[in-house]
Chains A and B, each alone.
Chain A
Amino acid sequence: MKYLDEFRDPQKVKSLAASLQAITTRAWTIMEVCGGQTHSILRYGIDHLIPEKITLLHGPGCPVCVTPVEMVDLAVEIAKRPDVLFCSFGDMLRVPGSKEDLLGVKAAGADVRVVYSPLDALRLAEEHIEREVVFFAVGFETTAPANAMAVYQAAQKGITNFSILCSQVLVPPAMEAILSSGLNRVQGFLAAGHVCTVMGYRQYEPLAAKYQVPIVVTGFEPLDLLQGLLMCVRQLEAGRFVVQNQYSRSVRREGNRRAMEIIGEVFEITPRNWRGIGEIPESGLGLKDKYESFDARKKFHVNMPEVSGANSSCISGLVLQGVKKPFQCAAFGKTCTPEKPLGATMVSSEGACAAYYRYRLEK
């Protein structure tokens, strides 16, 4: 397929890997932010093609992984209501809450449906006016305009039996949380190409300057990832730290204006709790007061439950921050597998633990 196959060309992959080898003189630690990039790196064995001196850390860019336990508990509580038709992206169904997950609730008879787009959930609301349709709105900047559009359309059309359980998160505050942590090892970032397609990369420029780290907006195919690494290492070797755009076929500096407008219309910035990391200020999106009638938490008068300590043997929080690798967890592949995950990084196919399990353990 056009725009995919040519970015997987094995000959070009080989020559890029050789260039990277040739320019790397020192040890560097680079984090790819997005779970989709982590998945590609392991799937195509990019980590085996790069110089040994380069360490890749896998970032927190998996919305499923960072959705807090209490949010899953809230989803379970709402989904159990007999009047509710609960819609979610498929990945969220097996994420463990403190006691149950959505798949278990569905098996027990609740009406939980997997949808491809938030507009599918809105359509269900139009078709089932006697039910309350709730969409579990998780995602980063990439998904925020779609979720915002579903709410906007509901308001425009006067659909009152539709609401969202909002768990939107923002990437730059998480990158800053990693950089400002005492545990930080990241010297350069490959920023998430589709997040930046929506938000652009102006917001990354002060981060690169403040923490003196190169940030390269990067795509998802093998050539994209290797070229992103090449650009990042070139900067590191030269002592430079600016924002560069490898994924220029999709990303413009100012982002997608229309998409940002609808986000600004429907959402406002809020603090958000990240699973395994904790609360990060100004790192989430919540519905503006104007749209509060579409907020499932307000509609059903449910509050965020208190959750006592997560599973102690799971180190997914440290994996998400790039402090530990999946292999360093005692539970990895033993008591924690994709069939029976302890933490969310094993649940989502884009979680670092699931990617290591699939591409490094099964072979």
Chain B
Amino acid sequence: MCLAVPGRVLSLTEGDFMNRKGEVQFGGIVKEVNLAFTPEAKVGDYVMVHVGFAISVLAEKEAKEILETLEEIGALEE
């Protein structure tokens, strides 16, 4: 039930706090998402979306670091 799906912000509609929205692309699907909880989200960012709300902006740097650590583990194995 706490399922959240990453999607890319395609466009933003600025509004007051509760009405900040954007179009977010999930693979081939585009949906309107409420961005009230992610005021820092910009076009091109990836957001984690749960029941119609973005709950975080995904940190590219952190994701990269984790994957690089895993590359190193792989290299040690070989």
Q: Are A12 and B74 in contact (CB under 8 A)?
A: yes
Can you show 5 pairs from A to B with CB atoms below 8 A apart? A1-B26, A16-B70, A145-B53, A197-B55, A246-B66
Q: Are A119 and B37 in contact (CB under 8 A)?
A: no
In the complex, residue of chain A having the shortest beta-carbon distance to the beta carbon of B26: A1
Say which residue of A64, A142, A153, A227 sits within 8 Å of B4 (CB atoms). Answer: A142
The reply to whether the CB of A295 lies closer than 8 angstroms to some CB of chain B is no
The reply to whether the CB of A345 lies closer than 8 angstroms to some CB of chain B is no
Also in contact, A2 and B6, with CB within 8 A (given A248-B59, A249-B58) = yes
A259 to B53, CA, bound (A): 10
Also in contact, A197 and B46, with CB within 8 A (given A19-B73, A35-B1) = no
Q: Are B1 and A64 in contact (CB under 8 A)?
A: yes
Q: Mark A1-18, 1 if CB is under 8 A from B, else 0.
A: 111101000011001101
Say which residue of B18, B58, B60, B66 sits within 8 Å of A149 (CB atoms). Answer: B18
The reply to whether the CB of A192 lies closer than 8 angstroms to some CB of chain B is yes
The minimal Cβ–Cβ distance linking B49 to chain A, given in whole angstroms, is: 10
Q: Are B36 and A149 in contact (CB under 8 A)?
A: yes
Q: Interface of chain A, helix or strand or loop or mixed?
A: helix
Q: Total number of A-B contacts with CB less than 8 angstroms?
A: 131
The reply to whether the CB of B51 lies closer than 8 angstroms to some CB of chain A is yes
Also in contact, A350 and B62, with CB within 8 A (given A1-B26, A197-B56) = no
* Chain A positions near chain B (C-beta within 8 angstroms): 1-4, 6, 11-12, 15-16, 18-19, 34-36, 61-64, 89, 91, 116-120, 138-140, 142-143, 145-146, 149, 152-153, 156, 192, 194-195, 197-198, 223, 227, 246, 248-252, 256, 258-259, 262, 348, 350
Interface-centre pick from A6, A35, A117 (highest chain B CB count, 10 A): A117
Total contacting residues, chain B, CB less than 8 A: 36
Q: Are B52 and A250 in contact (CB under 8 A)?
A: no
Say which residue of B53, B60, B77 sits within 8 Å of A117 (CB atoms). Answer: B53
The minimal Cβ–Cβ distance linking B27 to chain A, given in whole angstroms, is: 5
A139: chain B residues at CB < 8 Å are 1-2
The minimal Cβ–Cβ distance linking A5 to chain B, given in whole angstroms, is: 11
Q: Are B52 and A119 in contact (CB under 8 A)?
A: yes
A223: chain B residues at CB < 8 Å are 66, 70
Q: Are A192 and B2 in contact (CB under 8 A)?
A: yes
Q: Are A19 and B51 in contact (CB under 8 A)?
A: no
Q: Are B52 and A256 in contact (CB under 8 A)?
A: no
A319 to B6, CA, bound (A): 30
Also in contact, A34 and B2, with CB within 8 A (given A15-B73, A19-B73, A149-B34) = yes
Q: Are B26 and A258 in contact (CB under 8 A)?
A: no
Q: Are A194 and B70 in contact (CB under 8 A)?
A: no
B26: chain A residues at CB < 8 Å are 1
Also in contact, A256 and B55, with CB within 8 A (given A1-B27, A2-B46, A248-B66) = yes
Q: Are A194 and B50 in contact (CB under 8 A)?
A: yes
Also in contact, A16 and B1, with CB within 8 A (given A117-B52, A145-B55, A248-B62) = no
Q: Are B1 and A227 in contact (CB under 8 A)?
A: no
Q: Are B18 and A197 in contact (CB under 8 A)?
A: no
B60: chain A residues at CB < 8 Å are 249
A142: chain B residues at CB < 8 Å are 1-2, 4, 50, 55
